Amino acid sequence: MANRKPRVGLVVTIMPPGYPPIVLLDVERTGDVALSLIALRFHRRATFDVVEASVKRSLDGLVDASGHWDHEVEQELSNVCVCERMPKMLTPRNEADAEGQTALWAMKLLLRLGLGVAPVASGAG
């Protein structure tokens, strides 16, 4: 819920090999209220139950805080994960169909999460 209106939410769990999970929470942004994408970066490898409870607590906090990410919930989860807001990471949405826009978003997101690989220079030599 955001401003007493139901919003569609997206939860993406990323399991980088050898690293703790990262969960992305994104909430539909049509209308007046636009939330930033938020990443829950777990401190250590976590069971599905811990990840699920953290996501549930974050989304419940969103509803309780009238459609805003709740700072108190972020503090509450601080022993399990860091909550990193990523404002304007996936904007502008009206250009989502533009050629190459989704690939650009994916690269920006990978780099921001520290999962991107720098391009390898090649050349004759």
pLDDT attached to residue 27: 83
CA 29 centroid distance within chain:
14
* Distance between CA atoms of residues 125 and 123, nearest Å: 6
pTM score, whole prediction: 0.80
Q: Classify strands 9-14 and 22-27 as parallel, antiparallel or unpaired.
A: antiparallel
pLDDT attached to residue 121: 53
Going through the chain in order, the beta strands assigned E by DSSP cover 9-14, 22-27, 37-42, 81-86
Percent of the chain with pLDDT over 70: 78
